[in-house]
Structure 1
Amino acid sequence: MVAADWPEVEAIYRAGIATGRATFEPAPPRDWATFDASRRADLRLVAAGADGTVLAWAAASAVSSREVYRGVVEHSIYVHPDAAGTGVGSRLLAAFVELTEARGVWTVQSAVIAGNTASLRLHERAGFRVVGRRERIARMTTGPLAGTWCDTILIERRSAVVGADDPEATT
């Protein structure tokens, strides 16, 4: 993902926000610079169609500035509504997981809004597992669920590659 992708990335992000199931954010970041500053530059991908149109994007942020968490990221993945059900999300998430492992990430996590069954199924197929639920964690401000308290489902994927040779990795 590069700055030139921002208009399409922003449009896909905005479409996700409109569903009321993708994020608690009321709007995408105001510009590329803001988005860029909030995500790791080495952990951003887009999936494009044959004509070069962005169909989906994935990006991650560090969960902490503490060195012990250097291999843990929180990610987002968004698919254009017209590309839903085509497999592009699965292919992008697989490529994203591969990229995270190449960058030394041992845990990819996210908080999925309860009721976003498509995202939960996508992640389950990619090897993510549910590790918890936060009840009534935030009140939705936009979309069809505006004013509703929502739960989030905490998911994670632990790499079988990064840290696998460390006997202390599972203690």
Structure 2
Amino acid sequence: MAQVTVRPMSADDANRVLAIYQAGLDGSNASFETTAPTWTAFDAARLPQHRFVAVDGDGAVLGWVAVSPTSTRPVYAGVVEHSVYTDPAARGQGVAGLLLDALITSTEAAGIWTIQSVVFGENTASLRLHQRAGFRVIGVRERVGRHHGRWRDVILLERRSPTI
């Protein structure tokens, strides 16, 4: 992939990050959410030290990855849930894989031992991406929520660090 780099996300990336997020939500297989949050809400819900964007040679944001804590209980301090989104025009070019690699490096350096994700079963590209990155299927949560008027299942995935 020519000239795509990954760097920490900043507030200057807010408009592109939220636009990419909304594009993913508009596809109907990315999340139960239907509208991207405000930057203030996005920022408050995600750990600042584990947010990255992939940019092209011109500095345009092509995708992002970020994590949220799964619990406030101290015993779960090493467990996070992540989201990864790619601009529709950049899908299939390895952007999400680069972002997951950066996230895994960052979280392991910080002592995080488990990264979780939930993915709709219809999102086969995301499932393949996660399996390539070392995630495994933990189980299926059946009819866990309604999305666009119908019940949806999600697949729970996790990656356990082999070094922590």
TM-score between both structures, scaled by the size of structure 1 = 0.89
| 1:88 shift after superposition | 1.0
What are the equivalent positions in structure 2 for 1:43-122 lying under 5 Å apart? 43-122=50-129
| 1:161 shift after superposition | 1.2
* Structure 1 vs Structure 2 CA RMSD: 0.7
- Matching residue of 1:148: 150
Q: Deviations over 1:45-95 (max 9, x none)?
A: 101011101101000001111111000000000011000010111111111
Give, in whole Å, the separation in 1 of the partners of 2:110 and 2:83: 17
Amino acid at match of 1:20: S
1:25 maps onto 2:33 in alignment: yes
Amino acid at match of 1:17: L
3-state secondary structure, aligned to 2:152:
strand
Q: Deviations over 1:93-135 (max 9, x none)?
A: 1111111101110000011112110100000000000000001
The runs of 5 or more residues in structure 1 that have no matched partner are: 141-145, 163-171
Amino acid at match of 1:12: I
Q: Deviations over 1:8-58 (max 9, x none)?
A: 00000000000100011121112x221110000111010101110110100
3-state secondary structure, aligned to 1:124:
helix
Bigger Rg over Cα: 1
Q: Of 153, 158, 161, which aligns to 2:160?
A: 158
Aligned length: 156
Give, in whole Å, the separation in 1 of the partners of 2:32 and 2:83: 12
| Larger strand proportion of the pair | 2
Give, in whole Å, the separation in 2 of the partners of 1:87 and 1:43: 19
1:6 maps onto 2:14 in alignment: yes
Give, in whole Å, the separation in 1 of the partners of 2:121 and 2:152: 7
Give, in whole Å, the separation in 2 of the partners of 1:84 and 1:119: 11
3-state secondary structure, aligned to 2:35:
coil
| 1:6 shift after superposition | 0.5
